[in-house]
Structure 1
Amino acid sequence: MKATIERAILLKGLSHVQSVVERRNTIPILSNVLIEARADGTLRLMATDLDLQIDESVAAAVDQPGATTVSAHTLFDIARKLPEGAQVELSAAEGRMAIVAGRARFSLATLPRDDFPIIAEGELPTTFELPAETLKQIIDKARFAISTEETRYYLNGIFLHVSDDPQPVLKAAATDGHRLARVTVPRPDGAEGMPDVIIPRKCVGELRKLLDEIDGSVGVSLSNTKIRFDLGQAVLTSKLIDGTFPDYSRVIPTGNDKILKIDPRSFEEGVDRVSTIATEKTRAVKMALDKDKITLSVTSPENGTAAEEVPGDYSSLAFEIGFNSRYLLDILGQLEGDLIEVHLADAAAPTLIRENDKAPALYVLMPMRV
């Protein structure tokens, strides 16, 4: 194979595919990127970790079609260090790939393209389109709550499902057992009857990076075991988590009658300030609610105490409740607008946080003993 490509185009394509490649691999070919020069003037770049695969096509001048595989991270590092505006000539023959740009020459070892594993998608019966902005909103508002605990692997992703309540909607949920995030968007055409799926954390992260460069819609195709995102030049295919997501609707409180209305920014800044003295172990912030007066406080045996009053609209019975400050800050960071609703019951019951009852996102936070 032989092709010439502009450095910027090559670098952008490689930056997408190389992040899928794990740094340490027991199978050598999984460290490589598949490079295929096609007669139609495109260069195909493909990488996989056997669970997630990215396939991207970029424009190039192809002199001789062909394909090979070469170390993804090495090629990316080379492209990164080449001068801006350079024309990069890639040619492969007899187990080596030559990379020439200006006066720089590199020769890398290759592995045959026939050894490169490709995820078999099989049938993907459900297909629909989602605006890139909607997908970004789903990921940004939910992914912080994805669990990192490997033992509960079925929580290591975003749960996507459809329901009719009372309009047809698509819901995305994530939880780590301490907090829950749920985003509801109108159901796209074609998503009716789709299976409930759990999209793995790594796929969510890679998809979010690619979405920054997309303006229009993203094609989504899925089955019980695989999901594919069509992003124009790039196609991201992932296996789904094989597990059952818990019935999270049971933990969303419906009868919390103590309602606090508060400006999320002043609340967030107050929590952030008092939690400065919280230790890694405790991280607990106490919230004392009284009529239109909210007092945030932290007590740390090692560091001392901190307290701050924040203004809020509250007229129910006075009581105290504790939260993990980091979890609370994660949620507050997702909320927009000038006023949010915090629905409380008592010091031991889950708390519901949302902008209002029309907002697409809602959050549930479990309290802490303080």
Structure 2
Amino acid sequence: MELVISRDTLLRALQTIQGVVENRSSAMPILQNVLVETEGNKNIRLLGTNLDISMRGMFEAEVEKAGKVTLNARKLFDIVRELPEAEVRFTEEDGQWIEMRCERSKFRFPGLPPAEFPALPESKESDAHTISASVLSEMIRKTMFAISQDETRYTYNGVFMETEADILRLVATDGHRLAMIERPSEGLVLREGVIVHKKALGELVKLLQGIEGEVSVALTHVSSGQGLSLSGDEASATLTPNHIIFQMENIALSARLIDGEFPKYRQVIPDNNEYSILMNRESLTQALRRVALFTNETRMVKFAFTPGQLKLTTNGSEAGEAEETIESNAQTDITIGFNSRYCLDALSILDEEQISMDLKDSLSPGVLSPKDSDGYTYVVMPMRV
């Protein structure tokens, strides 16, 4: 193998792949490597995986001799990061050894046999359907913050994706709060729903940044599941027996799906809340941030609604106590306690000026949503005042 590639292109490629490469020293050595292989005369393909998440990307290069090699991803990234902005030449020699040159710099280091590199899931493109890349990014951003950080609750460690009547729905919960968002997605079918792990979603959100236009989605059938593939000038996702693959321009990301049943989320979404109270989102956010500075380890803040206003208070701690009052359109008296961080998490990802808090009583879950709903629902469990 012999090729020439610009330092900036190579650095960008390695930065992209780095997030899915296994970095534990105890891991299989081949999983700490990136596979570099030529594709025609004008491109190279980089592949990385930790067996749960995989990524492949196509990048421009001048290929003088076809071939492939695997190299330690971290070492290669560290070297390229320090190189000047110039062309980098790779030459394979003595089997698995690679010589790398850039201006007056020269490096020589070993790789591992490409045959040892795991095969990555492949996607099929058929029956295409579309969803905006920016919409998909928004849906993930407005739900994944509610994913549980408790690794023992495995089915809580991802976002649940399902479709119903041309609507794509994403749901995440940690058992204390729940975030759900719905957007139109005509033609996409995920009848049983799938759970995508939070680590894969974190990488996906980074890849979706800056992508414009439509995401092409195609349903494909496989022997033991269903699949969908997003392709086109934007992003694509394909579900194979137990993986989902997202294709964005020149990058594909695949993730092993979480095997298990997602919590029955519909049971915890209140549908009979008596009071719907409007507030200015920014006013509530700023007041809650200040009051939260005086909460104890429970982070509990008391929400005391009276006609026309909301008073936020803490129960008092060794650090002191705080009180803030903001305007609301409350018509009655109701007092309830919420975890301040859970409320602030939701307020920080909403964009609307007015938000609605729907309440039944001091012991029932509250529902936070934009004034005009906009297909977004955030449920938070109450705390004892």
Under a length normalisation based on structure 1, what TM-score does the superposition of the two structures give? 0.94
Letter paired with 1:293? Q
Percent of aligned positions that are identical: 36
Q: Distance in 2 between matches of 1:169 and 1:297?
A: 40
For 2:40, the equivalent position in structure 1 comes to: 39
| Contact 1:125/1:222 (<8 A) preserved | no
Can you give the 5+ residue segments of structure 1 that lack an aligned partner in the other structure? none
Partner of 1:137: helix, strand, or coil?
Answer: helix
For 1:112, the equivalent position in structure 2 comes to: 113
Find 1:197's aligned residue among 191, 194, 197: 194
| Contact 1:222/1:228 (<8 A) preserved | yes
Deviations 1:293-344 (A, max 9, x none): 211012342201011111111002x121111111110011122222111001
Q: Distance in 2 between matches of 1:77 and 1:348?
A: 54
Deviations 1:103-161 (A, max 9, x none): 11122220010000123458898864321111111111111001111121011111000
Can you give the 5+ residue segments of structure 2 that lack an aligned partner in the other structure? 216-234
Q: Which stretches of structure 1, 4 residues or more, deviate above 4 A after TM superposition?
A: 121-127
Q: Distance in 1 between matches of 2:87 and 2:339?
A: 53
For 2:381, the equivalent position in structure 1 comes to: 366
Letter paired with 1:228? I
Find 2:299's aligned residue among 283, 286, 300: 283
For 1:169, the equivalent position in structure 2 comes to: 167
For 2:275, the equivalent position in structure 1 comes to: 258
Judging changes above 3 Å, is the alpha-carbon distance between structure 1 residues 125 and 346 closer, same or farther for their aligned structure 2 residues?
A: farther
Q: Distance in 2 between matches of 1:172 and 1:17?
A: 26
Find 1:299's aligned residue among 294, 315, 320: 315
Partner of 1:286: helix, strand, or coil?
Answer: strand
Please provide the CA RMSD for this pair: 1.7
For 2:367, the equivalent position in structure 1 comes to: 352
Name which of structure 1's ranges 105-114 and 214-223 shifts more when overlaid on structure 2. 214-223
What is the 5 A alignment of 1:1-370?
1-24=1-24, 25-84=26-85, 86-94=86-94, 95-121=96-122, 128-164=129-165, 168-189=166-187, 191-192=188-189, 194-216=191-213, 217=215, 218-279=235-296, 281-316=297-332, 318-370=333-385
Letter paired with 1:265? E
Partner of 1:69: helix, strand, or coil?
Answer: strand
Deviations 1:156-188 (A, max 9, x none): 111000113xxx311000000111111101123
| Contact 1:34/1:67 (<8 A) preserved | yes
Q: Distance in 1 between matches of 2:125 and 2:268?
A: 32
Judging changes above 3 Å, is the alpha-carbon distance between structure 1 residues 72 and 350 closer, same or farther for their aligned structure 2 residues?
A: same
Structure 1 residue 194: deviation in Å? 4.3
Partner of 2:131: helix, strand, or coil?
Answer: strand
Name which of structure 1's ranges 298-307 and 204-213 shifts more when overlaid on structure 2. 298-307
Under a length normalisation based on structure 2, what TM-score does the superposition of the two structures give? 0.90
